[in-house]
Amino acid sequence: MEHDLNLQQPHLVCTRFELGVQRMIDTWIAAGRLEVSPEDLQLAREFLVQAGWKVEDAPLARIRIVDREGKVAEMSREGAVMAALRRLAKK
């Protein structure tokens, strides 16, 4: 895909999550399943916090996320990384 830099500037990479997401996806594709390491989860947490969300540990190895509007969601580690990916896609 061509990208004309004169018409649209490239997205500025500002977080470690943005740098690591391609590696994560490549690993998932190679494994044939979504596996989130503790390090991947930490990158996603940092990204969500920088985006203004509150991220907390929840019981049973789950994550509780509170978005800017105050909506609370409790999810798995994989769900938290996917929430970060969805947030990144909106940038």
DSSP string across 16-60: HHHHHHHHHHHHHHHHTS----HHHHHHHHHHHHHTT-EEEEETT
Percent of the chain having pLDDT more than 70?
88
Whether 4 shows a pLDDT value over 80: the answer reads: no
What was the pLDDT predicted at 14? Answer: 73
Helices 38-50 and 16-31 pack at an angle, to 10 degrees, of 140
What was the pLDDT predicted at 29? Answer: 96
The C-alpha atoms of residue 64 and residue 57 are separated, in whole angstroms, by 6
Whether 2 shows a pLDDT value over 70: the answer reads: no
pLDDT, tens only, 38-79: 999 999 999 999 999 999 999 998 999 999 899 999 999 999
DSSP state of 67: -
